[in-house]
Amino acid sequence: MTTLFRGRKGPLLWLLAAAALVALLAAACGGDDDSNTPTAAATTATGGSPAASSTAGTIAADVGKNDKADITGAGSTFAAPILQAWFDDYNKLVAKGVKVNYQSIGSGGGVQQYTEKTVDFGASDAPLSDAELAKAPDTLNLPFVLGSVVVTYNLDGVTKPLKFDGATVAKIYLGDIKKWNDPALTALNPGVRLPDKEIVPAYRSDGSGTSFVFTDWLSKVSPDWKSKVGTSKNPSWPAGQGGKGNEGVTTIVKQTPNSIGYVELTYALINKLPFADVKNKSGAFVTPSIETTAAAAAGVQLPADFRVSITDAEGAKAYPIASYVYALIRTSSDGCSKYRPVVNAFWWILHSKDASATASGLNYVPLPPETVAKLDPALKALKCEGQSALPQ
């Protein structure tokens, strides 16, 4: 048992030396980074040169091109791909000194971290509620992109899109409609042979902005749903199976014959899921798309604080399960070093043609210019160190 160390010191020492070297390298890298990437304390954020940015009284989209900052944001999973794509473009094409790190921790988490001030901005599929706003009163709920939720299903032999209305979907998720050949469903889908099989509804088990938008719509179109379940990021579902994330719901629907589920439009398009036409307020069956989602936004007046639901919107072409995605930004900040680059980055997102093109390319719906025009005064009113964050 005498396992003495003597005589075999060689490899051991090598290993120790290697470990020490790794530690030193890591420390050195950290040090290096501090010196040549000005972050935190050393940051001097410039608001862009006035000559370039305020031609003819308007602020250029690339107002933040000379900014330097490392910024962290978190929240909405739905908005993560488009925000990360935007911030990648912004870093490579517009403001080389600005790295905006956005992590998808869910809308609920985004609101939480924003309120705790651990992130420089949050993103959420729903605006702050009154209770949430009470904890963070100086908040700008800034809509920056549109999203919609589609109803997907797994039915053998059904080739063209099914048709649903809100009352029927509510009854399916309440467990009141149990079979596919229910009279309510056959009446909506004349000519489609629906099987005599149990419907398996799939829902999001995690707190989700997608669930919020979906239940918000159901609450508007079904009084029964409103009284029994209501609108929530994490409602208590009366029937069905839960899956985590869009991915979890998709897996259930793909693997379970005769199931039904709801996911983000972007997600359904990428994964080539079938989705239903849904009846809107004016009685038309609308296929979810970039155009019909934009039409839903056009059908609703934007209030002064921008907190608005656009589900079940007016308009013949409006898709009824749509929503704005919001950035959560404080209306004023003591320091400008990280705040101004955030404001400038969102200014670029809302005003740059490149940013709009990126959104469309990823199947996201950029805000129409008329809507952006309504947001501009609120952005110009944002203040840091007692001054306006954007050039006047």
Partner 1 sequence: MNPRSGASQLFLASEGLYRRRRLANRVMTAVMGIAAAIAVIPLFLILFYLLQKGLRGLSLDLLTQDPNRPGRPGGGVRNSIVGSGIMVGLATAIGVPIAIGCGVFLAEFGQNRAGLVIRFLVDVMAGIPSITVGLFIYGLIVLPQKQFTAFAGAVALAIILLPVVARITEEMVLLVPRSVREAAYALGAPRWKTTLRIVLPTALPGIITGVLLAVSRIAGEAAPLLFTALGNQFNSTNVFHAMDALPLRIFVYAVGPYDYWHEQAWAMSLLLVTIILFISLAVRAIFGSRVTVRQ
**DSSP reduced 3-state for 64:** coil
Nearer to partner 1, 84 or 232 (CB): 84
Map residues 127-166 to x or -, x wherever contact with partner 1 holds by CB under 8 A: ----------------------------------------
Give the C-alpha separation, 246 to 288, whole Å: 17
Q: Which of 64, 87, 328, 375 binds partner 1 (CB under 8 A)?
A: 87
**DSSP reduced 3-state for 387:** strand
Angle at the Cα of 107 from the Cα atoms of 104 and 110, rounded to 5 degrees: 70
Nearer to partner 1, 99 or 351 (CB): 99
Nearer to partner 1, 33 or 291 (CB): 33
Q: Which of 158, 308, 362, 378 binds partner 1 (CB under 8 A)?
A: 362
Least spacing, CB of residue 81 vs partner 1, in Å: 4
- Does the footprint of partner 1 cover residue 1 (CB under 8 A)? yes
- Does the footprint of partner 1 cover residue 121 (CB under 8 A)? no
Give the C-alpha separation, 356 to 359, whole Å: 5
Nearer to partner 1, 107 or 280 (CB): 107
Least spacing, CB of residue 84 vs partner 1, in Å: 5
Nearer to partner 1, 87 or 225 (CB): 87
Nearer to partner 1, 135 or 193 (CB): 135
- Does the footprint of partner 1 cover residue 373 (CB under 8 A)? no
CA 261 vs. chain centroid, Å, equals 19
| Pair of tokens at residue 365 | 């719906």
| Residues from 31 through 60 that contact partner 1 (CB under 8 A) | 32-34, 37, 39-40
Pairing of strands 163-164, 277-279: parallel
Q: DSSP letter for 178, please.
A: -
Beta strands in the chain (DSSP E): 68-75, 97-104, 121-124, 139-154, 163-164, 200-204, 241-243, 259-264, 277-279, 285-286, 322-330, 332-333, 365-366, 383-384, 387-388
Q: Which residue has the tokens 């305020």?
A: 54
Q: Decide if 108 contacts 128 (C-beta within 8 A).
A: no
Residue 191 neighbours by CB distance under 10 Å: 6
What long-range pairs does 185-191 form, CB within 8 A, spacing at least 24? 188/162, 188/163, 188/164, 189/162, 189/163
Least spacing, CB of residue 204 vs partner 1, in Å: 12
Q: Which of 81, 195, 274, 391 binds partner 1 (CB under 8 A)?
A: 81
Nearer to partner 1, 74 or 229 (CB): 74
- Does the footprint of partner 1 cover residue 105 (CB under 8 A)? yes
- Does the footprint of partner 1 cover residue 248 (CB under 8 A)? yes
User: Could you list the residues that contact partner 1 (CB under 8 A)?
Assistant: 1-5, 11-12, 15, 19, 22-23, 26, 29-30, 32-34, 37, 39-40, 70, 72, 74, 80-82, 84-85, 87-89, 91, 99, 101-105, 116-119, 244-248, 266-267, 270-271, 361-362
